[in-house]
Amino acid sequence: MEIVLARHGETAANAEARMQGHLDIPLNERGREQARILGDWFVAQRIEWSRVYVSPLQRAWQTAEIIVSRTGGPAPQREPALIELTAGALEGLVQEEIVARFPRFAERHVTEIGDFSEFGGESYEAVQERVRGLRRKLEDAHRLLEDRILLVGHGGFNFQLLKAMICEPVPRACIVRMSNCSATKVRLRERHGVFMGELVWHVPQELMGGAAAP
């Protein structure tokens, strides 16, 4: 099985460096253009898939619709497990507001990144359980080697899913920059009794012909 992960295009909140989480914000014009570039790049690279699963948040859904309008292929299907991490009271705030209201956020160690439980959001453990549940679902449905699926979601959750697919054990701290409308391909297969992934490529927009992310 092959999985292609795509992050949604830019929103007004992304442009302002505002924490989104579950805030349901649409793409801005740059985000729509990023999605068009990604769709055209898939066509140029002859990358196709048998299924498209998408986060229910509109920024991801709009991205998927634009991609499919350029590439053709199967219609997107909503997958609730792909929704972004919940950031609790941090949602809607820019970095300066977060640090002013929640100084602990800036003081956290790198191993605490991805855990929003102390701010009323999703815990790291809850996110990992969501990742494991989605992996089991995908593996049960698409275990054949020739199956390729496209997942359109968010930087936070896509990153956690990528870690879980390519690392055993899964590290708490790992840095992979998933910019808007970047794409990542992982090939999963049985390795010594474990269904693990191989990172094949990770491509940002600027390598697809789009402008570099700020």
H helices, E strands: number in the chain? 7, 6
For residue 162, give the H/E element and its range. Answer: helix 155-166
pTM for the structure as a whole: 0.94
The candidate with the shortest Cα–Cα distance to 136, out of 183, 188, 78, is: 188
Q: Which two tokens stand for residue 82?
A: 């792909």
Q: What pLDDT does residue 61 have? A: 98
Catalytic one of 10, 33, 84, 122: 84
| Mean pLDDT on 66-83 | 97
Annotated catalytic, 122? no
pLDDT tens per residue across span 111-160: 888 899 999 999 999 999 999 999 999 988 876 667 899 999 999 999 99
Annotated catalytic, 109? no
In this structure, which long-range contacts are made by residues 103-112, counting pairs with CB atoms below 8 Å and at least 24 apart in sequence?
Answer: 110/173, 111/172, 111/173
pLDDT over 80 (residue 102): yes
38, 55 Cβ separation under 8 angstroms = no
pLDDT over 70 (residue 212): no
The candidate with the shortest Cα–Cα distance to 120, out of 12, 26, 19, is: 19
| Mean pLDDT on 10-35 | 97
Helix 124-141 and helix 155-166, axial crossing angle in degrees, nearest 10: 70
Residue whose pair of structure tokens reads 């929640």 in the numeric block: 102
Higher pLDDT, 31 or 106: 31
Q: What pLDDT does residue 189 have? A: 87
Q: Report d(CA 83, CA 68) in Å as an integer.
A: 19
179, 33 Cβ separation under 8 angstroms = no
What's the mean pLDDT when you consider all of the chain?
94
Percent of the chain with pLDDT over 90: 82
For residue 184, give the H/E element and its range. Answer: strand 183-191
- Taking the domains of the chain in order of start, what are their residue ranges? 2-207
CATH of 2-207, one of 3.40.50.1240, 3.30.300.280, 3.30.930.10, 3.40.50.9100: 3.40.50.1240
pLDDT tens per residue across span 176-191: 999 999 999 999 988 8
Counted residue by residue, the chain has a size of 214
Catalytic one of 2, 8, 91, 122: 8
Strand ranges (DSSP E) for the chain? 2-7, 51-54, 77-78, 148-153, 183-191, 194-203
